[in-house]
Amino acid sequence: MEEKELKEMSTHIFYEIEMLNISAIKIHNLIRRKISALEEQNKEKTWQIQINLNVFIESFAIHSRNLIEFLQNDVCKNYVRAKHYLNDKNIITFREFMKQKSSLVKYIQDKTNNQVAHLTFDRINDRFKEKGKSWDLKKIHDFNEILKEFLSLAEEKFLCENLIKLKQEKNIFHYYAQKYIER
């Protein structure tokens, strides 16, 4: 890959990170609104909020899947991967880091696959209905730690300006929360 191509492609990586975080925060905001609508016993408002909530859950799922594939998969024809942005030493470092985070990645993959990406019988399974539908927002915060580690190891010459700025942020989720969380 050429430096110019990787730098241009990094704008799309930034987009995925941004949409992942904005979707997560919008989910948080909508859950708060839904609780309020349920307390008011306003069925129409609750339904409208649920529709919007589903849209942002699906958005989150798409962007999390894209980022997981980018972060953990080997180079494949025409697909950009984290490895393209790392030197040989940092590829090994990042691979070890990803092994430590494998349960977190599996959680997000399973939730995404069972709830959004595939039509599975888990959607009607009582255990899934009780426990499986809600998302642990802490895990979304933790997923950003993986993204932060990638950015810390990536060669800046391959990163767009927005990713370089994001790399300098102490906490990616808090960066977006300050912008998008409803108070």
In terms of Cα–Cα distance, which of 76, 168, 68, 47 is closest to 112? 68
Q: Residue 73: its pLDDT value, please? A: 74
Domain that holds residue 112: 3-180
The residue to which tokens 């959004």 are assigned: 116
pTM of the model: 0.90
Instruction: Give me the residues of the chain with pLDDT under 70, please.
Output: 117-118, 123, 126-134
Q: Residue 164: its pLDDT value, please? A: 97
Q: Residue 67: its pLDDT value, please? A: 96
Q: State how many domains the chain has.
A: 1
Distance CA 89, CA 111 (A): 32
- Inter-residue contact 108 to 117 (CB < 8 Å): no
